[in-house]
Amino acid sequence: MRLLLIGFGNVGKALLRLLTDDRNPLSRSGSKPQIVAVLDRKGGAIDPAGLDSAELLRTDESEGTVAAALEVGQFGLSPLAAIKEVEAEIVLELAPTNPATGEPGISHVETALRNGRDVITTNKGPPALAMRPLQRLARLNNVEFRFSGTVGGGTPILEFIKRTAKVDRVLSLRAILNGTTNYILAQMYDFETSMEEALKQVQRLGYAEKDSSLDILGIDPALKLTIIANYALDREIAPNEFHLTGINNVTLEEVTRYKREGRKTKLICSIDKEATVSPQPIEVSQPICVDGSLNLVQLKTEYTREMTLVGPGAGGYPTATAILNDLLAIEKERHAKDTLTAEITRIRAH
């Protein structure tokens, strides 16, 4: 399998380190994916025979771009041109995307699918804003469109919900899907820190994006909840059908008042008849009251009643394990297709 990486941030770098770990699951499965091209904001490196991961990481570290990695490999292709022209079976779409438009992610994914590439993205934009058309496009082109890492980082939230919805009836779902706001609200609760101060802290710790409005306004968790609803619960809900309230109007006074009543303010995502993202005071004894930057999903179902999954919701390495999961699924699909193709070739040759 030859991989083309669009974007080379924390997740892409973690993935490269994970793939060079010789105990990684793809090595165990006998498959050896080759990175044939990497594009970052400043340029790209390409080698049809496979780029050296260690050299890519070193060059990025010293030069701030992979473009200088291999003289032979420097090229001036745009991401869209690279997706069309680089010979690679799988496109990893890991570049920053505008969450309002889903661009350039949606265009990258669309172009890759149309050109017969399997696609893995960790961008919420494409699956949140264009899941159904992109899924149809993937089917038409007989390729895979996967996005495990868009919700929960390495915590398999999407798979857990989808599996449960297959064999049981999910009556309602409550979740905490944004580590940044969960951390901010916990700081306000624990240390009576103002929101501004807590936000600065979380940015210093590297959890939050420089532009944290996506978190604070609840847009990031709303996009994740859209992906859960449409992919794992097979519902048809667009992001603009959500009841969305961010934490921007939560005051320290309100947090401390609830605290005296034994409740913590949490940014709760929920789906029952409606889909809602809003700050809510939760009894501290409730298992949904997780702290730190953890994510959590709690399902109420008809037969198994209640189940909860908790884990870190982001981070380069955890998200890279979600990409590995998608790579393994694609490898399995390819294997099944190859078997069929071989059979058909034999029939033709007969």
Q: Contact region for a second copy (CB under 8 A) — 173-181, 242-250, 263-271, 313-321?
A: 313-321
**Residues in contact with a second copy, shown as a per-residue x/- string from 122 to 141 under the rule CB under 8 A:** --------------------
338 scored as a contact of a second copy (CB under 8 A): no
Which candidate in 13, 224, 264, 266 is catalytic? 224
The DSSP line for 155-200 is S-HHHHHHHHHHHS-EEEEEEE--HHHHHHHHHHHHH---HHHHHH
User: Could you tell me if 24 and 56 are in contact, meaning their C-beta atoms sit under 8 angstroms apart?
Assistant: no
Please tell me the distance from the alpha carbon of residue 195 to that of residue 198, in angstroms, as a whole number: 5
Provide the token pair at 94.
């890991």
Closest-CA residue to 216 (of 189, 191, 187, 183): 183
CB of 220 to a second copy, least distance (A): 19
Q: Contact region for a second copy (CB under 8 A) — 37-45, 69-77, 109-117, 321-329?
A: 321-329
12 scored as a contact of a second copy (CB under 8 A): no
Q: Is 273 an annotated catalytic residue? A: no
DSSP-derived 3-state class of residue 40: strand
CB of 4 to a second copy, least distance (A): 21
Provide the token pair at 123.
């961008």
**Residues in contact with a second copy, shown as a per-residue x/- string from 163 to 202 under the rule CB under 8 A:** xx-xxxx---------------------------------
> What share of residues in the chain are helix, strand, coil (percent, to 5)?
45, 20, 35
Is cis: bond before 104, omega within 30 of 0? yes
Residue ranges that bind a second copy, judged by CB under 8 A: 14, 18, 23, 25, 153-156, 159-160, 163-164, 166-169, 287, 290, 303-312, 315, 317-318, 320-322, 324-325, 328, 336, 339-340, 343-344, 346-347, 350
Active-site amino acid positions: 224
